[in-house]
Amino acid sequence: MSFDVKAFRNEFAFFQQHPDWVYLDSAATMHKPLAVIAAELAFYQKDNSNVHRGAHQLSQQATTLFEQARDQIAKALNAKRREEIIWTSGATQALNMLASGLMGTVLKPGDRILLTALEHHANIVPWQFYCQQHGVFIDVVPLTAEHELDLQAYQQLLELKPKVVAVAEVSNVLGTIQPLEKIISLAKVAGAIAVIDGAQGVVLARPDVQTLGADFYVFSGHKLYGPTGIGVLYGRYELLDLLKPLCFGGEMIKSVSFSGTTLNQLPYRLEAGTPNIAGAIGLAAAMCWLNNFDSAALAAHKQQLFTKLYQGCLAIKGLELLSPQQNNAGILALNIKGEHPTDVAAILNEQKIAVRAGTHCAMPLFQALQLPGAVRLSLAAYNNSQDINRTLQALEQTVELLQ
């Protein structure tokens, strides 16, 4: 199956609204196809009711749609059981639930966990917060001179017997795709639970969680063509069942009296309050819509654009490229020598090139790189060749203006 860029781009109303913009900020949030917007709209117009609690048929209908969405995610990730899929507001909430929920059950005072130098703050700060409270130690896998995870150091740190290894599938700054299979299998041998932050990775391909062997895999809907405010926490049932809830109230409770409360079963036990019903349905619609396209052709198109962008940037004098060209998910972090990234982004903005500048919620990574930040250009399959041409021209103009 070949890939029709124009037809694919036409799925997104956003580009018709902003024909003069080049959107290279998909790592921050992606645009939503009409199919996703239509699914959310249809839910509110036709099916809106609260789930799991109404005595009426309308609520049962909404519940069916909501639970069907869960089934769809479970199927897409090849989860063993539907109860292994927990709706969250996004990857950040999922990681917070893990960091708090594993304390006291899996993680005891004096235990260790292992993070890496290129994690997003969402995969650092919750661990820091709860580890400090519970006397758990954090070790950090350093980077090599090539900005890659130091796998040798990783193996040495595994000898300290961490109980948890939490790592991003793709670096949100550099775009580097991590060798997940290797990381997970080594973690398993060392007896650690593997937590995978799939926020930037899930768009490449939905993981087969069973083959991958991930104990937990989290992602956000809005980085997978879906709505904001919805995400997924996948967990292996036995481990998920150990997780203490972070939030209480609503359908997560079986019975309450002032002498005590009994919690509901999975998945509801971890879904306090009214969930983002329309968001869940929208995310399921995004996954369903993605199935209309040949994923290999989609990836090849994005890769082709990335190569063009990377090669073009290499040819512009004065640019410093931080991202690797190989094993890259379509993210290019760069700087103009001697210039602050916010200045570069401001001049790109003037030319209607949407990028992100700063430390990208990964300050420890920039401390390791000894840089104040970077400009991040991130691609999605809806970008086209003209986008790259315009970006390269704009970058040349920016270099020229900053001289």
* Residues lying near another protein in the complex (CB under 8 A): 339-340, 342-343, 345-347, 349-350, 357-358, 372-373, 397, 401-402
Residue 267 Cβ, how far from another protein at the closest point, in Å?
Answer: 37
Residue 372 Cβ, how far from another protein at the closest point, in Å?
Answer: 6
Residue 358 Cβ, how far from another protein at the closest point, in Å?
Answer: 5
Q: Which is nearer to another protein, 246 or 362 (CB)?
A: 362
Q: Which is nearer to another protein, 76 or 374 (CB)?
A: 374
Residue 316 Cβ, how far from another protein at the closest point, in Å?
Answer: 17
For the annotated catalytic residues, the residue numbers are 361
The CB-based long-range contact list for 70-78 (8 Å cut-off, 24+ gap) reads: 70/267, 70/280, 72/284, 72/287, 72/288, 73/232, 73/283, 73/284, 73/287, 76/206, 76/287, 77/206, 77/207, 77/208, 77/209, 77/217, 77/232, 77/234, 78/208, 78/209, 78/210, 78/211
Q: Which one, of 3, 94, 80, lies nearest residue 296 by Cα?
A: 3
Q: Which is nearer to another protein, 24 or 97 (CB)?
A: 24
Sign (positive/negative) of CA torsion 261, 109, 158, 96?
Answer: positive
Q: Which is nearer to another protein, 195 or 353 (CB)?
A: 353
Q: Which is nearer to another protein, 157 or 394 (CB)?
A: 394
Report which secondary-structure segment, H or E, holds 365. helix 363-369
Q: Token pair 């036409």 is at which residue?
A: 10
Residue 361 Cβ, how far from another protein at the closest point, in Å?
Answer: 12
DSSP class per residue in 295-336: HHHHHHHHHHHHHHHHHHHHTSTTEEE-S-STTB-SEEEEEE
